[in-house]
Chains A and B, each alone.
Chain A
């Protein structure tokens, strides 16, 4: 894949550039910013993150498993302790809860990884180390014939550096 990458010093010019690129429909736009900025998010206007579903499913699975293991184990070899019910659900709520948190949290992380494509084994094109420092970056994926157009557009909005990569 090939495209054009532009580096910006300022936030507002980045935002404007993104909006323009989207208007021009040059191609898929990826924005790099040292820190999450909702202005950018607004400009990119991406759909709601699906991580929450992972969390929900993980949590439910966890709660179920927590209760199940406790009850199943107690009934597996029913020994009475202290005259209490062999499988007494009240204390087992603790396991339901703890395992819910555990699974929920792990599922959330899994969701994060899967959705944002990490771990990323190879550093793909269209990234520059400065984007983790002070600068914003805009990478637009476009066919070679439109690269010139993209470059000029990025420059127009004040990109301090623009180059094509593939």
Chain B
């Protein structure tokens, strides 16, 4: 009877519903992934970290190896070169403006973890995790954007040694949440 086949559809519908629910659960995963805000001064990582300069990240983010906080370069650090280099460029003019006004550059934060997560940069850097592991290929980013979801599952994958086993580390909640 053809009505029979009609009823076979029901389990199918249920399966679809279940799948949809699962997907939606995962959908909330990465909130700010791909976030690429405009910066007060359009700093080209491509020129500094990449290109032919190939500066070491630690040169500007100088405390990444010794502090939970990677550190941002002082305007003074920038002016170290840019009093002489490329002074005519409009962006550099902006920078110089901050320098004369004795103002810090209000950089817009790209990679943000919630306040209840404690991420000690030095532990990761000293463990040999490269900056790119989390921040992506910054040296190739004209405008820096958030490449990874930075959500908890993403962290855990590394800590339990799933994504790259050599970096596995303690993974109880109080490692980061306190």
Instruction: List A residues at the B interface (Cβ < 8 Å).
Output: 79, 110, 113-114, 117
B7 close to A114 (CB less than 8 A): yes
A110 close to B10 (CB less than 8 A): yes
Q: Does B133 contact A (CB under 8 A)?
A: no
Q: What are 6 A-B pairs with beta-carbon distances under 8 A?
A: A79-B172, A79-B173, A110-B10, A113-B7, A114-B7, A117-B3
Bitwise, B156-178 to A at CB < 8 A (1) or not (0) is 00000000000000001100000
Indicate the size class of the contact surface on chain B. Answer: under 10
- B residues 7-22 in Cβ contact with A at 8 Å: 7, 10
Instruction: List B residues at the A interface (Cβ < 8 Å).
Output: 3, 7, 10, 172-173
Instruction: Give the distance in Å from the alpha carbon of A114 to the alpha carbon of B1 in the complex.
Output: 13
Q: Within 8 Å CB of B10, what residues of A?
A: 110
Classify the secondary structure of B's interface with A. Answer: helix
Instruction: Give the distance in Å from the alpha carbon of A117 to the alpha carbon of B172 in the complex.
Output: 53
Instruction: Give the distance in Å from the alpha carbon of A113 to the alpha carbon of B11 in the complex.
Output: 13
Classify the secondary structure of A's interface with B. Answer: helix
Would you give the shortest CB distance from A64 to chain B, in whole angstroms? 17
Q: Within 8 Å CB of B3, what residues of A?
A: 117
Instruction: Give the distance in Å from the alpha carbon of A66 to the alpha carbon of B172 in the complex.
Output: 26
When C-beta atoms are compared, the residue in chain B nearest to A110 turns out to be: B10
Instruction: Give the distance in Å from the alpha carbon of A110 to the alpha carbon of B172 in the complex.
Output: 44
Q: Within 8 Å CB of A113, what residues of B?
A: 7
Instruction: Give the distance in Å from the alpha carbon of A110 to the alpha carbon of B173 in the complex.
Output: 43
Which 6 A-B pairs have CB atoms at the shortest separation, nearest pair first? A114-B7, A117-B3, A79-B172, A110-B10, A113-B7, A79-B173
Would you give the shortest CB distance from B174 to chain A, in whole angstroms? 11
When C-beta atoms are compared, the residue in chain A nearest to B1 turns out to be: A117
Would you give the shortest CB distance from A117 to chain B, in whole angstroms? 6
Instruction: Give the distance in Å from the alpha carbon of A93 to the alpha carbon of B128 in the complex.
Output: 46
Would you give the shortest CB distance from A59 to chain B, in whole angstroms? 17
Would you give the shortest CB distance from B176 to chain A, in whole angstroms? 14
Would you give the shortest CB distance from A16 to chain B, in whole angstroms? 30
Q: Within 8 Å CB of A110, what residues of B?
A: 10
Instruction: Give the distance in Å from the alpha carbon of A9 to the alpha carbon of B173 in the complex.
Output: 74
Q: Within 8 Å CB of B172, what residues of A?
A: 79
When C-beta atoms are compared, the residue in chain A nearest to B8 turns out to be: A114
Would you give the shortest CB distance from A74 to chain B, in whole angstroms? 15
Q: Within 8 Å CB of B7, what residues of A?
A: 113-114
Q: Within 8 Å CB of A79, what residues of B?
A: 172-173
When C-beta atoms are compared, the residue in chain B nearest to A118 turns out to be: B7
Would you give the shortest CB distance from B165 to chain A, in whole angstroms? 18
